[in-house]
Structure 1
């Protein structure tokens, strides 16, 4: 890539990962289409984006660990159920019609934003629920399904995790975003990147700009989320989910 194209990648990565860290997902809304626009095949673009997204998690983690403590119970549930789903989804994506999956994911993502918007008090205070064995298993089963989506279609699935942690487990938005960015950003996306890298290719020479944008954007997005609090994060979540959903539907229908 020439210097101009590297600059475009860096700018897109900065913006996408800043808003993703603020809302708890959605970096693929800008970053993945940019990689496709610049000429990468879908499978290569997806694997390359997955690698860069790990550094979004690292950048956001560097900020969140200064002001939040993660519960080992939630860490175990999110990783234990989600990681097998990610590996499954990464293996399946090469064998399904992309536009059909994108349309379905777009409708679901749009629904997340509308649902949150219709529930003004959702996620504004920490109110833990479904902490029994049955509640954790049911919640973990849904995380497995979200993990499969994450491994196959990267745009916006972190937003599903954020809302599920709020709705099912009773976390507030700020806490849920911290879990999503640390666990999904680093471990889920890392597993997806490894699986997709083994199955296909990663565009290594595009990664420096993407990684820098992910680290810096992730850190400052997480900082703004912590400083502004739940009301701000909730509104950012709703805006990003609606935009991601509409973008996925439009892309699916235009193919």
Structure 2
């Protein structure tokens, strides 16, 4: 078991991860390697990461929610499906080796990033049509699939969710608010699951969670202040980092 000195780098990394995750998703690309480097077991890494992530996702969700950048009616319909998908993903991981398709997912997320960047206007204007049949036909199965991915593998869940909501017509700031809310729900479900397993390293996860929440608060406020153009630049960087994490994933 590591000593308290690991928090000297764990806390600032958790803060940075919270900031990045609130803006564009992908905070786990920072916190997962940090926890691995601390010497925790794979089970402890996954469980402790969910513990700290729930702080950051809750903080970011609150910031976006209070400023009206979360579509509450849509979220009420999507969260149950995301939770069901997350449970299914956690179940399937016992039967399928995640490493058999993580490289494919890496290419998929690079493709997603390319679509966002090549379309200059994508995500810059809010064109959400409301709760239409088309919106629900896209987002209901999308939320279930993203939840399943989060339960099964995880890295880049928020990034995929942002793309889903941008496809639905939200600008990237509102897409980010919806994505953080959906991710908070899946994090909460996973947190309760791992809580039962007893693998969380609380003395690491709690202080890193507070740092993650502070970073997420700053990141959410920055995203709303600077707008969708700023978010799009950060999104492009995160897509590359998430893809690299998937290609190099060993744990």
TM-score by length of 1: 0.90
3-state SS of 2:249 partner: helix
Distance 2:56 2:102 in 1: 23
- 1:128 corresponds in structure 2 to 128
- 2:77 corresponds in structure 1 to 77
- 1:171 corresponds in structure 2 to 170
Shift of 1:176: 0.7
Structure 2, unaligned runs of 5 or more: none
Tell me the matched-pair count: 250
1:63 equivalent in alignment to 2:63: yes
- 1:234 corresponds in structure 2 to 232
Contact 1:91-1:196 at 8 Å conserved across structures: no
Distance 2:51 2:67 in 1: 26
Shift of 1:130: 7.5
- 1:190 corresponds in structure 2 to 188
Distance 1:93 1:199 in 2: 16
- 2:222 corresponds in structure 1 to 224
3-state SS of 1:30 partner: helix
TM-score by length of 2: 0.91
Distance 1:95 1:203 in 2: 26
Distance 1:236 1:58 in 2: 21
Distance 1:93 1:150 in 2: 11
Distance 1:101 1:197 in 2: 27
Structure 1, unaligned runs of 5 or more: none
Contact 2:51-2:206 at 8 Å conserved across structures: no
Distance 1:10 1:178 in 2: 24
When residues 45 and 215 of structure 1 are mapped into structure 2, their CA distance, relative to the original with a 3 A threshold, is: same
- 1:5 corresponds in structure 2 to 6
Deviation sequence 1:147-199 (CA, Å, 0-9, x none) = 101112221111111101111x1011000101111231x21111012123335
3-state SS of 1:65 partner: helix
- 2:207 corresponds in structure 1 to 209
Map residues 133-148 of structure 1 onto 2, 5 A cutoff.
Answer: 133=133, 135-148=135-148
- 1:20 corresponds in structure 2 to 21
Contact 1:151-1:189 at 8 Å conserved across structures: no
Deviation sequence 1:72-119 (CA, Å, 0-9, x none) = 321123202211001111222244323224323222222221121111
Cα RMSD, aligned residues only: 2.0
Distance 2:94 2:39 in 1: 18
